[in-house]
Amino acid sequence: MATETAHAPQTNFNVSNEKMGMWAFLGSELLFFGAFITVYLIYVPRTADGPGPEVFDIPFTSVSTFILLMSSLAMVLALAGIQDRDLRRFRTWTLATALMGLVFLGGQLYEFTVFVQQDGLGLTTSAFSTAFYVLTSFHKVHVAIGVLMLGTLWFMSFTGRIRADGHGTNAVENVGLYWHFVDIIWIVIFTIVYLIPVDLAT
């Protein structure tokens, strides 16, 4: 998609089609996560005598949240790199963004195994557990797709689709939009899912 923009005709809003399409898609994603988060909020107290939100390890998740937020900074630096026509900086920071995304995913998967094996909180335990796992897993799927897109960008800088003359900047910008969105959604999930229920419990 993004590779055809260099020849795109002038658009009515002076925004590339790809960017406008991405914004529309992200608007749709807001309702996707909004519905999942709403369902989760309804189901927080419904633990069916199983474990509840008290199993969350706030310090651990805070660290992985911090890493994910820093990946947004790296994404900004990667975009700045390609905008400054500096292909090396672009590659470094793109790879850094993807790696931080992977670290976040690893942390989340580790957290899941702890919940399942030590706390006995399985997918089928209660309405709370189902809502929790499905919401956070869909977010993880989004992060994973973002990592794949970042890897593709990095790869594209070697095949000439992203070049030091600024060609392909639009693609980087769009992936950046998506990545920042996924981060912002995580801030909402982290606050609502992890922080607020613990406050209520204590």
Partner 1 sequence: MSAVEDRQGGSNLFRRPSSTAGVRGWLTTTDHKRIGIMYFVAAMIFFMVAGIEALLLRLQLATPEAQVLDSDIYSQMFTMHGVTMIFFALMPLSAAFFNYLLPLMIGARDVAFPRLNALSLWVFIAGGIFLYSAIFFGGYPDTSWVNYAPIQEVGADPAGYTLESGAQSNRMLFYSLGIQIAGVASLASAVNFITTILNMRAPGMTFMRMPVFVWMTLVVSFLMLFAMPIIGVALWQLMFDAGYEGNFFRPGAGGEPILWQHLFWLFGHPEVYILILPAFGIISEILPTFSRKPLFGYAAIVFSGVAIGFLGFGVWAHHMFTSGLGPVANAAFGLTTMFIAVPTGIKIFNWLGTMWFGTLRYRVPMMFAIGLVAMFTIGGLSGVTHAIVPHNAQQHETYYVVAHFHYVLFGGSVFGLFAGTYYWFPKVFGRMYNERLGQAHFWLQLIGFNLAFGPQHILGLEGMPRRYYTYPPGMGWDLWNLVSTIGGFIIALAVLLFVINLIWSARKGPAAPEDPWDARTVEWMTSSPPPQHNWDVVPTISHRDELWHRKYTDEEVPRPVPAGASPDHEASAGAEEDIHLPDPSWWPLVLAAGMPIASWGVVVDSWWLIGAGIVVMLFAGVAWGNEPATEPEHDEQPGTLQP
Which residues make up the interface to partner 1 (CB under 8 A)? 1-4, 6-7, 9, 11-13, 15, 17, 20-21, 24-25, 27-29, 31-32, 35-36, 39, 42-43, 46-48, 123-131, 134, 138, 148, 152, 156, 159-161, 163, 167-168
Which are the contacts of 29, defined by CB distance < 8 A and separation ≥ 6?
Answer: 142, 181, 185
Answer yes or no: are the C-beta atoms of 18 and 2 closer than 8 Å: yes
Which CB atom, from 28 or from 202, has the smaller least distance to partner 1? 28
DSSP type of residue 21: H
What's the CA angle centered on 12, arms 178 and 75, to 5 degrees? 20
Closest to partner 1 by CB, 41 vs 67, is 41
Output the CA torsion 106→110→116→118 (10° steps).
Answer: 180
| Both structure tokens of 38 | 């709403």
Is the Cβ of residue 64 or residue 131 nearer to partner 1 in the bound state? 131
Q: CB nearer to partner 1: give 3 or 61.
A: 3
Radius of gyration of the chain (CA): 19
Q: Under a CB-based contact definition with an 8 Å cutoff, are residues 128 and 47 in contact?
A: yes
Shortest distance, position 169 Cβ to partner 1, whole Å = 13
Closest to 44 in 3D by CA, of 102, 126, 117: 126
- In whole angstroms, how close is the CB of 122 to partner 1 at the nearest point? 9
Report in angstroms how near the CB of residue 96 gets to partner 1 at its nearest. Answer: 22
Whole-number minimum distance, CB 130 to partner 1, in Å? Answer: 4
Find the shortest distance in angstroms from Cβ 70 to partner 1.
27
Q: Closer to partner 1 at the Cβ: 21 or 107?
A: 21
